[in-house]
Amino acid sequence: MFLIAFLGGIVTILSPCILPVVPFLFARADRSVASVLWTLAGLVLTFALVSSLAVVSSDWVVTANGVGRDIALVVLVLFALSLLSARLGQWLMWPLVTLGNRLDPATRRLSGPSGSLLIGIATGLLWAPCAGPILGIILTSAMLQGPSAQTSLLLLAYGLGSAVSLGALIFAGRGLVARMKLSLPVTAWLRRIAGGAALGVAVLIGSGAQSALLAGTSSQGAAAVEQSLLSGVPKVIDYLVDSVKAATAPDVSVKGEMPSLSGAVEWLNSPALSNASLKGKVVLVDFWTFDCINCQHSIPYVNAWAKKYEKDGLVVIGVHTPEYPCERVIDNVRKNVEKLGLNYPIAIDNDYAIWRAFGNQYWPAHYLIDAQGQIRYTHFGEGNYDTQEHVIKQLLDEAKAGGQVKG
């Protein structure tokens, strides 16, 4: 599984979620090899640490994560400004240089590695890669069983894979620039362009508008590659693949009774719903979380189905199960529900009660339940929207006809 996690990290280079960190990393490409490696190390270690803590539901973790992100944004904004102005960069580095001189007057090497590591740590605090099949398995296993050394090592392997692919890209760019033998004025302009890009991304992340940056992208390609990696693994993880692999055909056979919806810490847009109250209705249960780019791509389709087929008897239920600490804050969920224009019932599943009941392992995950309360169709990840809508209409037609389906 460690090899699979490492390969899954390498595949993240194909994912749109890598885009926000690229300007910060490429801005370090003109530094020494050691400097680039220190930055990548900071990214990997911080990602593994933050993701490991994300499965802890303590309030202090949520608070620390929010404070850490704010500090990281300040660091990256200062870094971007130092690229835009060499004089400002020298002024900003003065405290580190002074500290290095006091600790070791004969050298200033402390400021080099420490500065590079700091940029990597700040980048790692802001990087939230798309939870594709491989990362989804690691995180959901930790959420169900609690944090462990194995989970942290798997996340570290995933981060190392990402660092390898990003590092290869950065060093390839370094080689290209070196062969071009650019003049000093051109190099200065490239530095300013990198600083402008880094500052722009920092502002986007700080304002929460990074979704607009990724709105026209899709992670289906990367997810398909990850699925092929999982499918090629020996029998030891085959049972994990089956639970996250998207259906390739509309299999509408009965897959068991709808699990309980009890256990949500709060409901938005509706009083608490029960299985009994939903009998006679076709139900779509959508597991999602507001900071997941895959979910952001699928939510418009779910919302459209909720509006289009409500009069025909479809009930859409969003189950918001958090992936990262900031997503556990109910006010944050409420703001995003309003921002997305979602009027259907939303269950806040902070304790993973509904997640466990369904045996779910992926964001987004769609479960279609017929009027008799039986699960008839599942889909994990983005895509196959036409097929899902076809199944919705089929189940609504069955409900109108009063048909019974035998499993």
Question: pLDDT-derived band of residue 223, with 50, 70 and 90 as boundaries?
Answer: low
343, 306 Cβ separation under 8 angstroms: yes
Residue 342: is its pLDDT beyond 80? yes
The per-residue pLDDT for range 140-195, each reduced to its tens digit, is 655 555 556 666 777 777 777 777 877 887 777 666 655 655 555 555 566 667 66
- 397 vs 112 pLDDT, higher one: 397
- 14 vs 304 pLDDT, higher one: 304
**Average pLDDT value for residue range 31-35:** 77
**Average pLDDT value for residue range 198-214:** 64
Query: Domain residue spans in the chain?
Result: 2-221, 250-401
Angle among Cα 215, 219, 225 to the nearest 5 degrees reads 170
Residue 235: is its pLDDT beyond 60? no
Question: pLDDT-derived band of residue 45, with 50, 70 and 90 as boundaries?
Answer: confident
The per-residue pLDDT for range 65-96, each reduced to its tens digit, is 566 666 666 766 766 676 666 566 556 555 54
Lowest mean pLDDT among 198-212, 213-227, 325-339: 213-227
266: phi > 0 → left, psi -120 to 50 → alpha, else beta; which?
Answer: beta
The per-residue pLDDT of the chain, averaged, comes to: 74
Percent of the chain predicted with pLDDT > 90: 30
pLDDT confidence of residue 233: 45
The per-residue pLDDT for range 243-289, each reduced to its tens digit, is 444 444 578 889 999 999 999 999 999 999 999 999 899 999 999 99
Name the CATH superfamily, with its identifier, for domain 250-401.
Answer: Glutaredoxin (3.40.30.10)
pLDDT confidence of residue 131: 54
pLDDT confidence of residue 99: 45
Question: pLDDT-derived band of residue 110, with 50, 70 and 90 as boundaries?
Answer: very low
pLDDT confidence of residue 406: 43
What secondary structure letter does DSSP report for 28? T
What secondary structure letter does DSSP report for 235? G
Closest CA to 278 of 180, 345, 359: 345
Residue 226: is its pLDDT beyond 70? no
245, 378 Cβ separation under 8 angstroms: no
pLDDT confidence of residue 27: 66
72, 123 Cβ separation under 8 angstroms: yes
Write out the two tokens for 54.
């994300």
Residue 301: is its pLDDT beyond 90? yes
User: How would you classify the pairing of strands 282-288 and 375-380?
Assistant: unpaired
pLDDT confidence of residue 169: 74
Distance CA 82, CA 161 (A): 29
The per-residue pLDDT for range 360-400, each reduced to its tens digit, is 988 899 999 999 999 999 998 888 899 999 999 999 999 99
